[in-house]
Amino acid sequence: MKVGIVSDSHGNTNALDAMLQHPAAVDVEAWLFAGDIAMDAEYLEMVTDLPVIKVAGNNDWPMSRLEDTVIAQLGGHRILLTHGHLYGVGFSTQNLVLAAAEQAADIAIYGHTHVADVSIGEVTVLNPGSVARPRDASRGSFMVAELVPEQQPVVQLIRI
C-alpha cells in the first residue's frame, strides 16, 4: 500500500496542490497528516477523496478537535502519528521512539520541526518536513511510503 505523508502546510493550499500534482503522489491510497493546521487535512480530504489520517499540531490548539496522537494500522504496519511537540522532537526523537515501542508501533511519524527526517530501524522514524515552510531546503517536501507487511517501508522524500 502506498501512503503519502505530509505535515506543517500552515494553510498553504497552493503547496498542497503542488504536492498532489507531483507524479509520486498520483497513486497514493491514503494520506497521513502530522498537524499544523487541521483545516489543511480537511482540504486534502475534500480534493483527493482519499482517507486522511490526521492529528492536531501545536498551532491547532485549542480549536481543533483532533487527537494529539493516533495509532493507524496500514499495509501490515502499525503507525504512531503525532505532531511531535508533546514528545520534545525539537531536542530528540527518543521519547517518540519510546512511545511508538510502547504502542507496539513499528513506524513513528512526526512533523513540527519543518526538517525532513528518515531513520529506518526497529522503529522507523519519519518526518516529511514542511510542505509549505521548509527549514532544511528552499523547497517544501512530503513523503511517500510503500508499506508491505513484514518488510521495512520504502520511503521517498520528495521536494515540490
By the criterion CB under 5 A, which residues form the site for Mn ion?
Answer: 36, 57-58, 112
CA distances to 55, 67, 76 from 22, in Å: 24, 29, 26
Give the Å distances, CA to CA, from 26 to 22, 23, 37, 62, 63: 7, 5, 23, 33, 31
Give the residue with the Cβ less far from Mn ion, 136 or 146: 136
Q: How far is the CB of 29 from Mn ion (least distance, A)?
A: 26
Whether the CB-CB separation of 8 and 14 falls below 8 Å is answered with: no
Q: Looking at beta carbons only, is 4 or 57 nearer to Mn ion?
A: 57
Q: Given the complex with Mn ion, which of 113 and 124 has the nearer CB atom?
A: 113
Q: Which residue is nearest to Mn ion (CB)?
A: 112
Nearest distance from C-beta of residue 81 to Mn ion, angstroms: 14
126 or 147, CB closer to Mn ion? 126
Which three-class secondary structure string do you get for 40-87?
Answer: HHHHHHHHHCCCEEECCCHHHCCCCCCCCEEEEEECCEEEEEECCHHH
Which residues face 158 on adjacent strands? 142
Beta bridge partners of 52: 31
Task: Please identify, using beta-carbon distances, which residue of 5 and 147 lies nearer to Mn ion.
Answer: 5
- Smallest distance from Mn ion to CB 9, Å: 11
Query: Which residues sit opposite 109 in a β-bridge?
Result: 81, 126
Give least dist CB 68 to Mn ion, A.
Answer: 12
* Nearest approach, Cβ of residue 151 and Mn ion (Å): 31
